Amino acid sequence: MLYAIISQDVDDSLEKRMLARPAHIKRLEVLKNQGRLILAGPHPAIDTNEPGSTGFTGSLVVAEFDSLEVAKVWANADPYIKSGAYASVFVKPFKKVLP
């Protein structure tokens, strides 16, 4: 089943994100290579794809996992949590309708 992993950043998270980004991306690449990643990306803090020093306010990952519990375990092991970039992470079942 698909799950949406919705993360909210702490204030001024950019430096913490940058330090943990290589490990964060590596984990997403594993899901991608397994054919389980639907989409992933950050929420810019301002209305542009390149927010510069304004940074990001959170992230969204939609991926396939065996269960809600497995998705939560994966989400809670994110390097952005360990770096202190994320203030909270929510995992919800997701039903893809379109496209």
pLDDT tens-digit map of 45-70: 999 999 999 999 999 999 999 999 99
Rounded CA separation 33/64 (Å)? 12
CATH architecture for segment(s) 2-94: 2-Layer Sandwich (3.30)
* Model pTM score: 0.95
Question: Tell me, what DSSP letter sits at residue 90?
Answer: E
Of 68, 60, 82, 79, the closest CA to residue 8 belongs to: 60
Give the start-to-end residue ranges of the domains of the chain.
2-94
Rounded CA separation 1/96 (Å)? 10
With contact defined as beta carbons under 8 Å apart, do 19 and 83 qualify? yes
- The alpha carbon of 44 is separated from its chain's Cα centroid by a whole number of angstroms, namely 13
